[in-house]
Chains A and B, each alone.
Chain A
Amino acid sequence: MACEQWRSQLDTYLDGELSAESMRTLDAHLRTCPDCTADVLSRVQLRRSVKAAGTRFRPSSEFRSKVQKQIGTKRRWSWNLGWTLATATLAILLLASGINNYFAKQGLREQQLYSELADLHVATLGSANPVDVLSSDRHTVKPWFQGKIPFTFNLPELQNSEFTLLGGRVAYLEQSSGAHLIYQVRKHEISVFIFPDTTAIASLGDSSKARQQQTFNVASWAQGGLRYVVFGDTSADDIQKLSSLLKSAGHA
């Protein structure tokens, strides 16, 4: 194709919207054509300037707090809204990077549940007394829950792992009670939620692989009638490791 025909497509090319095949052909052309390459560079420069000029307006801090107050009266909604926006952004990023858009297929219900768990996680760690039973000994923590929640569970031996149990508390998620355990790995706290798999939490799908929800990594699975959700701002790898430990203890 002649240069002239390519020229009309350079912006589409820079927008990343050409078909993969046209993209390859144009790439090849650019390697051999200094004129078109110069054109591309100049367009890139103009874009950069447009982007800089185009982001000139910032909301004032007064206005920000005004809107914050406005949506603050519906805190649950705003959290969900913010959460959905965050996952939407992530979905766009994933889509843009060519990864199959997983989040687009996720139900809003699931996102709401994750947002509530995120809420619990953040609120608990931010509070003065994050745990009600402060112990690294699973033999102390497990019996503490007896009579407080309607089920029992097993916790793993951590002696040869990097994880430490910090303690636990009773958590409430949409009218049902469950266990909220806090683990630590290299200064990162991880929440483990255990609820009967018949309650609201059951609508969380299984994800044996840790995946990202906002800035957190999450794994979720059902085992022995209970649903486990492992949640934290640590690496997917850590979430996986702790999940396997919990799974093997659950089997015992």
Chain B
Amino acid sequence: MCVFFDQLYNFAHWLAQNRDEAEDLVQETYAKALRGFSSYQQGTNFRAWMYRILRNTFLTSRTGLKATQTVPLENDEDGPILAVADTQTPEAILIDRSNQALLESAIDELPVHYREVLLLCEVEEMSYQEIAETIAVPIGTVMSRLSRARVALRASVRQKLQRT
């Protein structure tokens, strides 16, 4: 079985937010990859290619369309990254095993465009270049989106911690 299978599935589940749809996504991704294998450009990033197929499949699915429509993406192409820099000292955010669930829901509640860059960066450990290839945006956009995603995640975690 391909080395990315587990990771692809995990990513699909985070995007689709349910098991059945995640399975459909992964299956369709493999089907498309096998069919389009000859069109894969050698020398380009293969992992990014696979994730791109998965992501595009998701975005054109019903759930995907709904997820992107309900959360309009702010214009993150402009504006200096500094503007969204986290000014609060983050030492208050101490996550341990006991509130893992809290973090999971914080990630889950992120708008899909933030969720995906965060996961591609921190879970898949892709480089900015790879993320840019995967989601087909310039590196600058990857950086600002990632920065906003992290600020949003921290804010959400802080809020949830205060509530508990």
Contact = CB atoms under 8 A, between A and B. Distances in A.
Interface residues of A, number: 55
A57 B26 CA distance: 13
Nearest to B93: A46
Contact of A7 (B3, B22, B86): B86
Given A50-B103, A50-B122, A77-B37, A85 B3 contact: yes
Contacts of B121: 15
A67 B30 contact: yes
Contact of B47 (A51, A68, A85): A85
Nearest to B105: A53
A50 to B, nearest CB: 5
Size range of the interface on B? 35 or more
A5 B80 CA distance: 13
Given A17-B127, A54-B14, A80 B37 contact: yes
Contacts of A59: 5-6, 9, 23, 26
Contacts of A77: 34, 37
A244 interface: no
Contacts of A198: none
A9 B31 CA distance: 40
B33 A56 contact: no
A45 B27 contact: no
Contacts of A5: 82
A92 to B, nearest CB: 7
Contacts of A95: 127
A64 B50 CA distance: 17
A131 interface: no
Interface in A164-198: none
A249 interface: no
Given A59-B9, A70-B30, A105-B43, A82 B3 contact: yes
Interface string A68-98: 1011001001101110111111001001100
A224 B143 CA distance: 54
A81 B37 contact: yes
B13 interface: yes
A56 B4 CA distance: 15
Could you say which of A15, A53, A82 has the most chain B C-beta atoms within 10 Å of its C-beta? A53
Given A16-B127, A17-B128, A39-B89, 14 more contacts: A38-B91, A49-B95, A50-B123, A57-B13, A59-B9, A59-B26, A63-B26, A85-B46, A85-B50, A88-B46, A88-B47, A89-B4, A92-B130, A104-B45
21 contacts: A8-B147, A16-B127, A42-B91, A42-B93, A49-B95, A49-B103, A50-B123, A57-B10, A59-B9, A66-B27, A67-B26, A67-B27, A77-B34, A84-B40, A84-B46, A85-B46, A92-B127, A92-B130, A95-B127, A96-B127, A104-B43
